[in-house]
Structure 1
Amino acid sequence: MSEIKRVALAGATGNLGPAVLDQLLQAGLEVTVLTRAGSQHKLPETVTLKEVDYDSLESLTTALHGHDAVVSTLGSLSLSKQLLLVQAAAETGVNRFIPSEFGSNTVHPKTSQLPVFGDKIAVQKALQKEADAGRLTYTIVVNGPFLDWGLAVGFVASVKDRSISLYDGGDRIFSATTLPTVGKAVVGVLQHLDETKNRAVYVQETAITGKQLLDIGQKVTGTEWKAAQISTEDCVKDAWAELSKTAPDYGKAFMNFLNAAIWGEGYGSHFETNDNKLLGIKEIGEEELRALMVSHA
């Protein structure tokens, strides 16, 4: 399969975009950042900027001409915009498309049925259709929750507040990865096209339980933490109940479904086999986890 040299990156800002951009540049790849009209971002001088209209196939095909790969890190509210981006990539001869997944195991049958992942599943189907027609190849990167971001904002655990939510008792193992390592995984995919063709790759920096995180956090801070006990079954029930309302709070339903996908039973959130070795990813131990927590204290 042809070597990847030119990469178009959709969504270079936000939580993940900068980390992916940094790793692409470190790997010596030529990067074009797709931006919306009027967007103003401070990006490295080596990056090419191209304004696009994500609702215009002509705009997207013009921007993608000459590129070998497309990497999308578009945020939740823009995931559906990828459908036209996939079409544009197929029509311009792009070799590899990496969609904005980078989280829960959406290729798992149970997880794929959650409404929160509807847009991602639609993009997966579009990619599969184009791959079946021989018009492009794709890779889905599954890495669990962002560990560093999750500690910074209190999603995985809050070092600042000395608190954590323990789902279903906190004994269930889940896989997690930091933002820079997700970026490294993207580069690894682009460097191993044959081995990662038309499939999901699994990446984890750690496989850990909520109780283990709680224990490490308490050791790091030297204080006792608050541990909320939450049922993931209740999360799912509450999410469906919210969606049934006349004026639902979609954000609330989103978070409840997401919590179930990460910490619930049978959603494939612990990657018992992974692609770390292939993609050059190393797992971290308790010492590195302690250092990570200290950096967010």
Structure 2
Amino acid sequence: MSRTRVMLIGAAGETGGSIASGLLEHPNFEIHCLVRPRSAQKPAILALQDKGVIICKCDLKSSEEELEHALSGIDVVVSCVGSSEQQDQIPLANAAKKAGVKRFIPCGFITVAPPGGIMWLRDEKETVYNHIKQLRLPYTIIDIGWWYQLSYPRLESGKLDYAMTTANNEIVGDGNTPLALTDLRDIGRYVARILSDDRILNKMVFAYNEVLTQNQIFDLLEEISGEEIPRNHVSDEFVQNRVLAARQSSETYPFDPVKFIPRYLAEYQLSWGIRGDNNPEYAKYLGYVSSKDLYPDFAPIGFKEYLTSVFNGTATGIYTDRTISKAQQRMFPRSESTDSLQGRFFPRTESSDSLYMSR
């Protein structure tokens, strides 16, 4: 039986790394990675090469002819590009169509949300999805909910700080909104199943592990740690005002990460925290096929198991080696008054200060 040739874009990222690991567990995949020539010597890329991954040096900003050549003979393209690179998938999709790629997996891999003004990031992705459909390029869109790795609050003892990107100690509203969660490490395992499944060609898949509320997450971490965690509730109105301020701040800086990280996080809170978009019922309404129905035998990593590993000091942090993470840490250092999502990612400005007064 011939192996499926997969071209992975963004293999050095968190999601791309998970997908590379998931595919490497299956000998029926021949894995290729498209990398910028200047990135070919990155440790993460060299490590994949040592595992048998074929490295293809080509920039996404290359001509469509060069991209078509890079995709020649490839069966499936899996894209995990960065937030500011969503539109770069349009010439990539054009090249994939010309090269005869049999399935294109665009960079979804976020929470469930409707298009049209709720989340800027979602709308950027939907522009790409629409282009793929106009090309009649075979596709599968995969969304995965909210990562375990971003879902839990900080402990006052600091015991979990080694694995955390933000303090994450806010509860949106009453904290009882259901939230679909997935362990980052399971994303690749889901993708390996999906790439071999013709039932979901030209469909959307919602691949998730568990559904919990923020209150349940806090309760579980208190049970595991034995520490009491302060419940810092933020109102719907406060989140709405935060979204407005973040949107106003980012409009003049289209792809400045320092401006857009607050917008991403605020709009995520709007979507999964206030609207309750990120849950299996709404996903079904939007037309997703559930991983629970597709793969009832799939054994995901449990959320309690993950939290226990974080508490025991054996978990792996995310974004700890990224320039943007370090820049954010310098710009918004932790302190007693700023150790929260608002303090670290939503700094007050002259234009937005009045919007925060409703808290």
Which digits, 9 at most, give the CA deviation of each residue in 1:31-61, with x for residues without a partner? 1100012112322431111111212212211
Give me the whole-angstrom Cα distance separating, in 2, the residues matched to 1:230 and 1:283. 31
Task: Measure how far apart 1:250 and its partner are.
Answer: 2.8
Which digits, 9 at most, give the CA deviation of each residue in 1:68-118, with x for residues without a partner? 000011121222211111111111110111111111114x356x6422323
Give me the whole-angstrom Cα distance separating, in 2, the residues matched to 1:266 and 1:58. 43
Partner residue in 2 for 1:228: 232
Partner residue in 1 for 2:305: 288
For normalisation by structure 2, the TM-score amounts to 0.72
Give me the whole-angstrom Cα distance separating, in 1, the residues matched to 2:80 and 2:214. 27
Is residue 2:181 matched to residue 1:176? yes
Give me the whole-angstrom Cα distance separating, in 2, the residues matched to 1:128 and 1:12. 25
Give me the whole-angstrom Cα distance separating, in 2, the residues matched to 1:163 and 1:128. 37
Give me the whole-angstrom Cα distance separating, in 2, the residues matched to 1:265 and 1:232. 10
Report the secondary structure of 1:281's partner residue. Answer: coil
Relative to structure 1, the CA distance from residue 64 to residue 233 in structure 2 (aligned partners, 3 Å threshold; closer, same or farther) is farther
Partner residue in 2 for 1:68: 75
Q: Which moved more, 1:251-260 or 1:233-242?
A: 233-242
Partner residue in 2 for 1:52: 58
From 211, 217, 239, give the equivalent of 1:213. 217
Relative to structure 1, the CA distance from residue 163 to residue 122 in structure 2 (aligned partners, 3 Å threshold; closer, same or farther) is closer
Report the secondary structure of 1:137's partner residue. Answer: coil
Give me the whole-angstrom Cα distance separating, in 2, the residues matched to 1:277 and 1:165. 33
Give me the whole-angstrom Cα distance separating, in 1, the residues matched to 2:303 and 2:112. 24
Relative to structure 1, the CA distance from residue 183 to residue 295 in structure 2 (aligned partners, 3 Å threshold; closer, same or farther) is farther
Residue pairs, 1:34-113, within 5 angstroms: 34-39=34-39, 40=41, 41-42=45-46, 43-45=48-50, 46-55=52-61, 56-106=63-113, 108-109=114-115, 113=118
The answer on whether the counterparts of 1:23 and 1:187 sit within 8 Å (CA) in structure 2 is yes
Relative to structure 1, the CA distance from residue 157 to residue 219 in structure 2 (aligned partners, 3 Å threshold; closer, same or farther) is same
Give me the whole-angstrom Cα distance separating, in 2, the residues matched to 1:109 and 1:117. 6
Task: Measure how far apart 1:174 and its partner are.
Answer: 0.6
* Moved >4 Å (runs of 4+): 245-248, 283-287
Relative to structure 1, the CA distance from residue 168 to residue 283 in structure 2 (aligned partners, 3 Å threshold; closer, same or farther) is farther
The answer on whether the counterparts of 2:177 and 2:276 sit within 8 Å (CA) in structure 1 is no
From 256, 266, 281, give the equivalent of 1:256. 266
Letter in 2 for 1:144: G
Give me the whole-angstrom Cα distance separating, in 1, the residues matched to 2:280 and 2:205. 10
Q: Which has the greater radius of gyration?
A: 2
Give me the whole-angstrom Cα distance separating, in 1, the residues matched to 2:301 and 2:32. 32
Relative to structure 1, the CA distance from residue 4 to residue 200 in structure 2 (aligned partners, 3 Å threshold; closer, same or farther) is farther
Give me the whole-angstrom Cα distance separating, in 2, the residues matched to 1:86 and 1:51. 18
Partner residue in 2 for 1:24: 23
Give me the whole-angstrom Cα distance separating, in 2, the residues matched to 1:258 and 1:163. 13
Task: Measure how far apart 1:237 and its partner are.
Answer: 3.1
Relative to structure 1, the CA distance from residue 287 to residue 146 in structure 2 (aligned partners, 3 Å threshold; closer, same or farther) is closer
Give me the whole-angstrom Cα distance separating, in 2, the residues matched to 1:127 and 1:3. 27
Give me the whole-angstrom Cα distance separating, in 2, the residues matched to 1:51 and 1:234. 46
Q: Which moved more, 1:209-218 or 1:112-121?
A: 112-121
Relative to structure 1, the CA distance from residue 187 to residue 243 in structure 2 (aligned partners, 3 Å threshold; closer, same or farther) is same
Letter in 1 for 2:153: A
Give me the whole-angstrom Cα distance separating, in 1, the residues matched to 2:262 and 2:99. 39
The answer on whether the counterparts of 1:276 and 1:282 sit within 8 Å (CA) in structure 2 is no
Relative to structure 1, the CA distance from residue 163 to residue 235 in structure 2 (aligned partners, 3 Å threshold; closer, same or farther) is closer
Letter in 1 for 2:120: P
Identical-pair percentage? 25
Letter in 2 for 1:184: R
Structural RMSD (CA): 2.5
Give me the whole-angstrom Cα distance separating, in 1, the residues matched to 2:152 and 2:14. 15
